[in-house]
Amino acid sequence: MRVLVTGADGFVGRALAAQLAGGALPVSTLTLTDRQFTAPPQASEASVVTGDLADPTLLTALLAPGFDLVFHLASIPGSLAEHDAVAGERANLSVPLALGRHLAGRRGPGNAATRLIFASSIAVYGPLGVEAVSVGTPTRPALSYGAHKLMTETYLTDLTRRGDLSAVSLRLPGVVARPPVNSGHGSAFMSLLFHRIAAGEAYDCPVPANSCCWWLSRKACVEALIHAARLGPQAGTVIQPPALLLTVAEVAEAAACLTGRPARIRWGDDATLTRLFGSMPPLDASTASAAGFAADADAEALARAAFEGVSQ
Binding residues for its own copies, per CB under 8 A? 85, 89, 93, 101, 136, 138, 141-142, 144, 147-148, 150-151, 154-155, 157-158, 161-162
Say how far apart CA 12 and CA 185 lie, in whole Å: 14
HSE of 135 in the Cβ direction (CA atoms, 13 Å)? Answer: 20
Residue among 120 and 157 whose Cβ is closer to its own copies: 157
As a three-state string, the secondary structure of 37-73 is: CCCCCCCCCCEEEECCCCCHHHHHHHHCCCCCEEEEC
Name 163's Cβ contacts closer than 8 Å, sequence gap at least 6: 113
Residue among 118 and 155 whose Cβ is closer to its own copies: 155
Give me the least distance between CB of 51 and its own copies, in Å please. 24
Query: What is the residue type of 183?
Result: S
Residue among 19 and 137 whose Cβ is closer to its own copies: 137
Give me the least distance between CB of 148 and its own copies, in Å please. 8
Give me the least distance between CB of 107 and its own copies, in Å please. 16
Give me the least distance between CB of 57 and its own copies, in Å please. 18
Give yes or no for a contact between 190 and 265, defined as CB atoms under 8 angstroms apart.
Answer: no
Residue among 90 and 218 whose Cβ is closer to its own copies: 90
Say whether 154 sits in a helix, a strand or coil. Answer: helix
Give me the least distance between CB of 186 and its own copies, in Å please. 16
Give me the least distance between CB of 147 and its own copies, in Å please. 4
Residue among 216 and 239 whose Cβ is closer to its own copies: 239
Give yes or no for a contact between 39 and 13, defined as CB atoms under 8 angstroms apart.
Answer: no
Residue among 50 and 286 whose Cβ is closer to its own copies: 286
Q: How far is CA 224 from the centre of its chain?
A: 10
HSE of 32 in the Cβ direction (CA atoms, 13 Å)? Answer: 26
